[in-house]
Structure 1
Amino acid sequence: MSLLKRISFKDQAFQQREDAILDAATRILTNRGFDLMTMDEVATDVGVSKPSLYKHFKSKEELAGECMIRLLDGANETLAALPDDLPALERIRRLLGWALDLRLKGGLPFLPATSPHVRDMLVKNLGYTMRALKLNNALVKLVRDAQKTGQMRKDLPEDVILYSFYARTCDPSVEFLRLYSKLSNAEIVEHTLSVYFGGVGAKP
């Protein structure tokens, strides 16, 4: 076997282990939050030693930051993959639907809403802030386009619409519906979208 192939296999194994670490950390962050997550717990969940875990991420803060970066990458990629001819309102709707579906599957830690410490930690993470700014700028443009074309209420400030969008992704009612209603995940997503867009959408 050539040296190039050996390096390739080694790199693949490293990346697969890193993906597994991020998956485990995301689940723990979603269920328990940043303060209760420990590196020992993540290592145990993945089935690696703590020294192996630290080869990938030097601290809990770095690991949580990478989880959020991966989440924002997913959001930006989802938005970019939508057909260009979709109306602005439908693009916003599909992005929120993606986020809600991801949350119901345990893949959406809403860390910025948890504590000032976590928010400060993320603000200092350049990779996170760049991606968050990219997503926010794209959403601002979509909201303005939707208002301009009469798809969204023009009497609502864009900040109200945007922050209501972000808040909906971490609305506790979604979790209550998952636990106590007889609705499927798809039905929960559809009804939650209906509640949100019934409020910000333009009236007939």
Structure 2
Amino acid sequence: MGLLGKLSFKDQAFRLREDAILDATTRILSGKGFDLMTMDDVANAVGISKPSLYKHFKSKDDLVGEAMVRLIDGALAFLADMPADLSAKQKLAALLEWALRVRLEGGMPFLPSTSPQVREMLMKNLKYVMRVMKLNGQIEKFITSAQKAGDLNPALPVDVILFSYYSRTCDPAVEFLQLYSKLGTDDIVTHMLHVCFEGLQA
């Protein structure tokens, strides 16, 4: 029996509405960004009143922080379900593929890269920071293992590879390809993975 099955009807409705709020928040953030998004936007998108929205999240910062926590939880869950026999490089590629597909579907706002205000807001969110640290730790282990296996350049510092890897999830080339090329989602993902891990050389 899942978590919802153990909750009362009222609690189930509350949880489902909260999911709808976070879905709407993610879509609006992906389109408008943090500065332009308002609580009215979210309430209208979900079809609830603003007072009802505030029963779930007391501020815009709390709402956006929870949306980002949910995104990272999705990445951590994806990692937990990965086959154990994949190499470290294969795990990195699989996680990046997941992230690119989520992004192409409008489910990944690249907030931390948008402004110092957003970064400061997220760094004050302990729940978010703890999730990021956990995700970073797992990715760093994959990078180190891939370097030892000769699949990634061992001369590069781990941080350089880590932040280059993260940057692929918010590379504007993805949007340009989606908007202006004739490539479908699968082709965009395939080519972006190749550029990330194999570069541009023939």
TM-score class normalised by the smaller sequence: over 0.9
1:156 aligns to what?
156
**1:199 positional shift:** 3.4
Question: Would you say 1:103 and 2:103 are equivalent positions?
Answer: yes
Q: AA paired with 2:90?
A: E
Output the TM-score relative to the length of structure 2. Answer: 0.94
Identity of aligned residues (%): 62
Unaligned runs of 5+ residues in structure 1 are none
**1:85 positional shift:** 1.1
| Rounded Cα–Cα distance in structure 1 between residues aligned with 2:194 and 2:95 | 14
Q: AA paired with 2:58?
A: K
Runs of 4+ in 1 over 4 A off after TM superposition: none
Unaligned runs of 5+ residues in structure 2 are none
| Rounded Cα–Cα distance in structure 2 between residues aligned with 1:76 and 1:15 | 21
Q: AA paired with 1:12?
A: Q
**1:155 positional shift:** 1.7
Question: Would you say 1:198 and 2:194 are equivalent positions?
Answer: no
| Rounded Cα–Cα distance in structure 2 between residues aligned with 1:123 and 1:72 | 14
2:71 aligns to what?
71
How many pairs are equivalent? Answer: 196
1:36 aligns to what?
36
The aligned runs of 1:42-61 (5 Å cut-off) are 42-61=42-61
Output the TM-score relative to the length of structure 1. Answer: 0.93
Give deviations 1:147-198, integer Å, cap 9, x for gaps.
Answer: 0011111121111111111111000000010011111111101100000001
RMSD over aligned Cα, in angstroms? Answer: 1.5
Give deviations 1:66-125, integer Å, cap 9, x for gaps.
Answer: 000000000111111101111000000000000000000000011100111110100110
Higher mean Cα deviation, 167-176 or 150-159? Answer: 150-159
2:141 aligns to what?
141
| Rounded Cα–Cα distance in structure 2 between residues aligned with 1:60 and 1:156 | 39
| Rounded Cα–Cα distance in structure 2 between residues aligned with 1:189 and 1:32 | 24
1:167 aligns to what?
167
Q: AA paired with 2:56?
A: H
Question: Would you say 1:130 and 2:130 are equivalent positions?
Answer: yes
1:189 aligns to what?
189
Q: AA paired with 2:138?
A: A
Q: Secondary structure at the match of 1:152?
A: coil
